[in-house]
């Protein structure tokens, strides 16, 4: 069982993966993988979830749990017996409980010895950086940017500066 984030970039069983990616990428990876319905899948979120409402959950093997504190997360992780664990990072769980971060990271590493563990966030923060230190793989997918040459103003022009070098510096001038 693999979860392909992008072509040629897959998450493998028995690993702990820290994934930093746009929400669209993660939702697409989960929804396009029909194999996930065959495995016990645990989705854990904190006080809020960015992904849950977009994930197709037609499988009876898809379980959702929420942790409102780091201690609740610790309890949930102690009881994990799923093939896939997706933990959507919520930094508010660790406010005032930063001492729990290394323990949670170690638990994720231990669970990753027998399951596919995905620690997900769309943007990295301090608590995520502590958790990802134990990860087997750290994957960061940058958000797609606007195509080159598109601008907000119709009257914007791209000009070359200092000569006509094809690879010279360019500046944006608005008229």
Instruction: Convert the pLDDT of each residue in 62-86 to its tens digit.
Output: 999 999 999 999 999 999 999 999 9
Structural domain count, the chain? 1
Supply the CATH number for residue 90's domain: 3.40.50.300
Let me know if residue 121 belongs to a domain.
yes
Let me know if residue 37 belongs to a domain.
yes
Domain holding 98, by residue range, is 3-140
Please state the rounded mean pLDDT for residues 16-39: 90
Please give the pLDDT value at position 35: 75
Asked if 15 and 136 touch (Cβ cutoff 8 Å), the reply is yes
Let me know if residue 150 belongs to a domain.
no
Let me know if residue 20 belongs to a domain.
yes
Let me know if residue 132 belongs to a domain.
yes
Please give the pLDDT value at position 36: 77
Please give the pLDDT value at position 103: 96
Asked if 118 and 150 touch (Cβ cutoff 8 Å), the reply is no
Let me know if residue 175 belongs to a domain.
no
């Amino acid at each position: 069982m693999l979860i392909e984030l992008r072509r040629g970039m897959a998450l493998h069983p028995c690993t702990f993966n820290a994934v930093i990616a746009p929400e669209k990428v993660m939702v697409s990876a989960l929804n396009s993988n029909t194999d996930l319905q065959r495995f016990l899948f645990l989705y854990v979120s904190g006080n809020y979830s960015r992904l849950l409402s977009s994930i197709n959950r037609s499988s009876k093997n898809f379980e959702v749990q929420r942790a409102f504190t780091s201690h609740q997360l610790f309890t949930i992780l102690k009881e994990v017996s799923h093939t896939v664990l997706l933990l959507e990072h919520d930094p508010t769980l660790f406010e005032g409980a930063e001492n729990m971060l290394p323990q949670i990271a170690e638990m994720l590493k231990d669970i990753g010895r027998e399951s596919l563990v995905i620690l997900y966030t769309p943007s990295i923060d301090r608590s995520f950086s502590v958790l990802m230190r134990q990860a087997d793989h750290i994957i960061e997918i940058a958000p797609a940017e606007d195509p080159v040459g598109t601008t907000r103003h119709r009257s914007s022009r791209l000009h070359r500066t200092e000569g006509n070098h094809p690879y010279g510096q360019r500046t944006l001038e608005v008229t």
